[in-house]
């Protein structure tokens, strides 16, 4: 009887541990211009890829992604932030080991074929985590300029980001989001007006 009770308790503890285990895909900054946010409470995953190829003319590969984690992968919708319906391509995001993910699409977004390919199965688009962040989501700036404030409703400072910049979101409060923008040389953090961002 004691053995059976021990087995039941052990199984229950194992199930509880699995329910609270860290997601297979983590939020943060990945190499090659990918950022991801993961909400461990809901399994929602979102991200942003933004890479440009220099030269004349300059070519860009830009899209937002969102979906829901199921185990080690997520079915995702990807689209340019300005055109979520007309530019929609459905694909997958999957864990490839600790700190590594693979993003696969059936076709390429405009410009991506010349910058970074996601539909070539012979050359998978894999990314490695460069810096883990507690981001529950990723958002993209819609306004021409979005200024950082030290607190919700407080006057903003001098730091701002521009339309098309992606930010990692730590939390939110009444029309504001607490976010980080990771630039090439520094990270800007603070509160942004939600009205200045595209809808998730």
Q: Give residue-wise pLDDT tens across range 63-105.
A: 999 999 999 999 999 999 999 999 999 999 999 999 999 999 9
Domain boundaries, the chain: 28-132, 137-196
Predicted local distance difference test score (pLDDT) of residue 53: 86
- Adjacency order of strands within the sheet including 166-173: 137-140, 166-173, 176-182, 187-193
pTM for the model:
0.87
Percent of the chain with pLDDT over 90: 84
Predicted local distance difference test score (pLDDT) of residue 22: 65
Percent of the chain with pLDDT over 70: 89
CATH number of 137-196: 2.30.30
172's tokens: 């939110």
Rounded to an integer, what distance in angstroms lies between the CA atom of residue 165 and that of residue 84?
17
Going by pLDDT thresholds of 50, 70 and 90, the confidence category of residue 57 is: confident
Stretch 117-124: mean pLDDT, rounded?
95
- Check whether 3 has a pLDDT greater than 90: no
DSSP-derived secondary structure for 102-153: EEE-SSPPTTHHHH--SS-TTS-EEEEEEEE---SEEEEB-SSEEE-BSSTT
Predicted local distance difference test score (pLDDT) of residue 54: 78
- Check whether 16 has a pLDDT greater than 60: no
Stretch 5-23: mean pLDDT, rounded?
47
- Check whether 156 has a pLDDT greater than 60: yes
């Amino acid at each position: 009887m004691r053995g059976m009770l021990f087995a039941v308790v052990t199984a229950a503890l194992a199930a509880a541990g699995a329910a609270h285990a860290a997601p297979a895909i983590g939020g943060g900054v990945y190499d090659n211009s990918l950022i991801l946010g993961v909400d461990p409470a809901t399994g929602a995953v979102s991200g942003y890829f933004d890479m440009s190829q220099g030269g004349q003319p300059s070519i860009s590969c830009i899209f937002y992604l969102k979906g829901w984690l199921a185990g080690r992968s997520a079915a995702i919708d990807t689209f340019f932030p300005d055109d979520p319906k007309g530019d929609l391509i459905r694909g997958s995001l999957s864990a490839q080991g600790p700190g590594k993910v693979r993003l696969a699409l059936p076709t390429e977004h405009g410009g991506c074929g010349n910058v970074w390919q996601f539909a070539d199965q012979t050359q998978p688009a894999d990314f490695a985590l460069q810096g883990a962040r507690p981001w529950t989501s990723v958002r993209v700036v819609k306004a021409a300029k979005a200024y950082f404030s030290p607190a919700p409703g407080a006057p903003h400072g001098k730091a701002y980001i521009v339309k098309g910049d992606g930010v990692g979101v730590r939390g939110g409060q009444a029309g504001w989001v607490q976010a980080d923008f990771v630039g090439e040389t520094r990270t800007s953090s603070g509160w942004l007006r939600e009205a200045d961002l595209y809808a998730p």
